[in-house]
Chains A and B, each alone.
Chain A
């Protein structure tokens, strides 16, 4: 039995546990600012986009952050580490209501809600962004990777800048 069949035939309860662990690891990686490890949650051809809800609902293609390969993710990490100028910050993300939509041709469709909190120096912690994720996961060598991750945020206004990924 191949690994793909393994995930595909896994009981919903077991699959759910896999996903819970995966999302917890994903969030920990970002919260702990281990950005260099972040692209490894994705396939080489992954699409990762952070998009305002209004664009998503109107079918408009512009994203706030648009990546269409693992290379884009790595470039984003280099920018965060080396090129962009920004205030120091903590970000903490909560991912919840993980919902298995089911297996499609592309892979496993999953939806989840998220909230991200931002803490800047000298300032109170604030809700930075709230929204949902539309994710597609595939089996790569026995582990689930994001083939697509669409982060759709409800927040009408981005508080100043979006520096770290969601």
Chain B
């Protein structure tokens, strides 16, 4: 490792800026994190309910296709023709009986096996593939696939542990809270290109400390605030995390005296936008970050998968899939649609984050030798902290990151 990749001597209480800008680090992340021993989120089963249904997705910056075959199994293959590398699937969602590359019509079944190519035997005894050319070794690259309660994960690694072990018992409880086996219904998509490193998005959702300060909306309406009862939970490896909170009141107290962003007199002209009802047991908010590419959002009644699609060291796409449950009452569906105003690229809350994340990238770009300070709540991390005044889940993330990246 060259000197410029020397992690600061303070350890995980410092984050060197080169992790957000360096192309070599980015390339290593693709290899070890996204193509490494991890389960990446790729789709919801509800997006591909019938045999032949497919969805284009990505793991890191690698495009993949998630497809349900005739037997009902979900397969994930790389979206890259084995012949010349053409990205053969160009539609976000669709239906197919087979995949044919448009360039030379190499054709694959829904498992990703090459089943035919034109002129294999030549024409008029001329040309054609060599006599010993076999179809079998020239299929699409197939990934490992697993599902849990309607959520589809895939892995480039053959030796990845079972999903339940990968997520870990504590995080699995939170996962199953929203994905409890009920059939999901996709309510819509949103896609934004954030001009910053992908890890800054994860850090943002692992950092409850900022939410109490930056987000006037959350703070004012008590949706997420440091004086609410709350917990930061991480799995035993440190890679996954969850911010958990209970709703508080729009009221000044001694405990929130330092939170300038609480506007006691701010009332909505149309309060129907924000009339959450209790839907899940215990907590009102659980924001889960699952290594390596997923944020699961349960803020009151707005539910979404936020998939991180890396686009080089200094950009990523944040692909939102909002969902509810099939057959749920119309008023709940309306609530989800209205509360979605908090989220996404125009979200009363989330837009603050995408803006600030860009400010970070703009600030650090010219200073690879700089480093961020992560000392709120200590210099180490633990699996559970019963408050929001901590950056522990960011430290735990980098603890695991450093091990995977050997940094």
A positions within 8 Å CB-CB of B: 50-52, 54-55, 58, 60-66, 68-72, 74-75, 78-79, 82-87, 156-163
What 1/0 flags go to B183-197 for Cβ under 8 Å of A?
A: 000111111111100
Query: B217 on the interface (CB 8 Å rule)?
Result: yes
Determine whether the beta carbon of A54 is less than 8 Å from that of B189. Answer: yes
**Additional A-B contact list (6), CB under 8 Å, known A62-B189, A75-B268, A83-B220:** A51-B188, A72-B270, A82-B266, A83-B217, A85-B356, A86-B351
Partner of B345, one of A61, A66, A71, A162: A162
Determine whether the beta carbon of B337 is less than 8 Å from that of A62. Answer: yes
Contacts of A66 in B (CB 8 A): 337-338, 340-341
Determine whether the beta carbon of B266 is less than 8 Å from that of A85. Answer: no
Known: A52-B191, A65-B341, A86-B352. A75 touches B269 (CB 8 A): yes
Name the residue in B214, B337, B344 with the highest tally of chain A Cβ atoms < 10 Å from its Cβ.
B344
**Complex-state Cα separation, A162 to B191, whole angstroms:** 11
Known: A74-B269, A82-B266, A83-B263. A161 touches B337 (CB 8 A): no
Determine whether the beta carbon of B351 is less than 8 Å from that of A60. Answer: no
Name the residue in A75, A86, A160 with the highest tally of chain B Cβ atoms < 10 Å from its Cβ.
A160
B positions within 8 Å CB-CB of A: 92-93, 186-195, 214, 216-217, 220, 261, 263, 266, 268-270, 272-273, 317, 322, 333, 336-338, 340-341, 344-346, 348, 351-352, 354-356, 358-359
Contacts of A51 in B (CB 8 A): 188
Determine whether the beta carbon of B192 is less than 8 Å from that of A160. Answer: yes
- Cross-chain pairs A/B with CB under 8 angstroms, 9 sampled: A50-B346, A52-B188, A58-B93, A60-B188, A66-B337, A83-B216, A83-B220, A160-B345, A161-B346
Known: A61-B188, A82-B263. A160 touches B194 (CB 8 A): yes
* B interface secondary structure, majority: mixed
Closest Cβ of chain A to B218, distance in Å, is 10
Residue of B nearest to A87 (CB): B355
Closest Cβ of chain A to B314, distance in Å, is 13
Determine whether the beta carbon of A62 is less than 8 Å from that of B188. Answer: yes
Determine whether the beta carbon of A79 is less than 8 Å from that of B348. Answer: yes
Residue of B nearest to A50 (CB): B346
